[in-house]
Amino acid sequence: QAQAAQQALVARQRRQARDLATRTAARDAARAQARQDTARAAALSAATVDATTRLQQTEQQTADLADRVAALRAEQARLRAELARDSAAITPMLPLAARLARYPADTLLAAPVPPDRAIAGLLVIQGLSAQLEQRADAIRTRRAALAALDADLAARTAQLSALQQQQAAQRDSVARAAEAARQAQQRSNGAATRAARQVEDATRQASSLQDAVNRIEALEKAAEDRLEQAAQAAIRAHRADEAATARARAAAIAQGPGPGLSARAPGTPAGRGAPVPGTIVTAWGTTTESGPATGITYAPPSGATVRAPCAGQVDFAGVFRSYGQMIILDCGRHDRFVLAGLGALAVSTGQALAHGAPVGRMPDWAGQGARPTLFVQLRHGGGAVDPAPFL
């Protein structure tokens, strides 16, 4: 009986060892697959950067040209109004001018008036003639300007139409590439997915943007502490390899998924600074109703493409309180960009992104109602810092 029990125990230990080896192999395979998926997503994201840069340039050109066309149309309307006013003023005098041109003597001598009044009338007619000539010159000048303006407007409108078609084609291409990058990340292992969901859930439960970032930092710190405890336990059990692996993973969490802004800023490629085309309406530190601005607010063109201001990983992508569609992008080394006010997102939580890759689009705007704006905030650890040097 003792031998049978011993054999059963040995068999059970062997099964447990085989099960542990199988689970370890499956875990390692899942982690390897996750690394491959992340690398593929990052490569696909990097492949979209140049196309997204060209798209944003086209969007800016389209917006500038649309503003020019609107200004030309306003000038056209002003010239037409002035022509109508001058024509209305000169019309009552045209019958007299025509009669004077045909029958000057009969017209001047027809009325039986004293000579002094006839002379006064002649002087008045001379003044009217000069005024008529001036108005006629003004009308001719405005008509010539209007004809040139019409030709310029027609050419600009055709150019705008061509740019809009080019923009639509570029936007479709970028959207397909961004979706391919997003789908590549979806195959990651369950552990990575659970970690991303944990961060996303913590962010959704936050009461403010400050609280959201603090919660993300706390989750990272907790993960580092757990790995350090696992490393200490492995050392006590004389499993040096496991301890080294745990500490390497903790170091990777502390480093973050990107190079950080200090490493990226000096080598930032030209034309990849601002995440969206448009004008700045609120700069960092500007006085607002809620105090000094803690970020930069842009007024982009309608439906403008928004790009990642750094390389890294998406901590959060979704609707957040009054910020609308929002993205928190971990750049590494505890640097994070917050992008809020988007109309549509092209990324998912946990996705790896290249610097300059598309992350979404602004809402469409036809010039009516409040203009959509993009709020960009940079946070280091728990506090907001001026993003201007990096944009």
What residue ranges do the domains of the chain occupy? 1-35, 57-183, 190-390
> Quick check: 265 pLDDT over 50?
no
> Quick check: 269 pLDDT over 60?
no
- pLDDT category at 318 given cuts 50, 70, 90 is very high
Q: Does domain 190-390 have CATH number 3.10.129.10?
A: no
> Quick check: 80 pLDDT over 60?
yes
For 196-255, how does the pLDDT look when each residue is reduced to its tens digit (9 = 90+)? 777 788 888 888 888 888 888 888 888 888 888 988 988 888 888 888 888 888 888 778
> Quick check: 391 pLDDT over 80?
yes
Residue 370, classed as helix, strand or coil, is: coil
CB 307 within 8 A of CB 329: no
For 53-77, how does the pLDDT look when each residue is reduced to its tens digit (9 = 90+)? 889 899 989 989 988 998 999 999 9
Name the percent of the chain in helix, strand, coil, to the closest 5: 65, 15, 20
pLDDT at 201: 82
Mean predicted confidence (pLDDT) in 161-183: 89
> Quick check: 270 pLDDT over 50?
no
Averaged pLDDT of the chain: 83
pLDDT at 4: 86
CB 126 within 8 A of CB 132: no
* Tokens representing residue 347 in the block: 């990324």
Name residues whose C-beta falls within 8 Å of residue 298's C-beta, 6 or more positions apart in sequence: 274, 275, 276, 278, 279, 280, 281, 373, 374, 376
Mean predicted confidence (pLDDT) in 129-137: 78
Number of Cα atoms under 13 Å in the Cβ half of residue 122:
13
Mean predicted confidence (pLDDT) in 354-379: 92
